[in-house]
Structure 1
């Protein structure tokens, strides 16, 4: 069911400072951004590492549970899955509880996420991720 690492998301109270810090650390600027409903940046994404994995920086006001949290905290690593609805249904049937419902990201770009808390208190993210599929297709033997 879990195909491969797709995105890891980090939360930042000062998104612009976090963007600049990670740009310096990684040596690249973010390649993708999405504004929040108020027009200010809500999300920046970098491609990092040998396989161009996604590192997402998200404004803390969009943190599951609100800006102050109210639940499990820290980074959420998202795994690409082929059928997001079926994956979430299976995780819930196996005893996980919803952390964040299925949510479309980026207004029609094909990025859709959800997360659950496993029976042991860990947050597990799953997503439909067109970038993961693009990288997989490029890496396929020809």
Structure 2
């Protein structure tokens, strides 16, 4: 059965990869491995890839840090716990935890390279 994207001829496969700038690749690779609790599935000097919930988190030492660009939000079950853990791991606070409506909470932090990480707690979404 074809998806609506295939029927429309757009050739879109869907969201699949988020790539963060990693000017200090080994440092950022270690930080994300600690954050995730496991190492990358792909580890080369030009790119490091982690599989996260069916998506790819890529670290690119040649990418330019894009401040003010789109923010990727990581789904979490308890935003306060994850926010505090990332701060303890060396992330920097960016925006505080805020309820945006219907019990949905968001916040942003910056990883050690300055990439913005969004967190979102959506109690109505069952995983």
Task: Give the structure-1-normalised TM-score.
Answer: 0.41
TM-score normalised to the size of structure 2? 0.46
- Tell me which structure has the larger Cα radius of gyration: 2
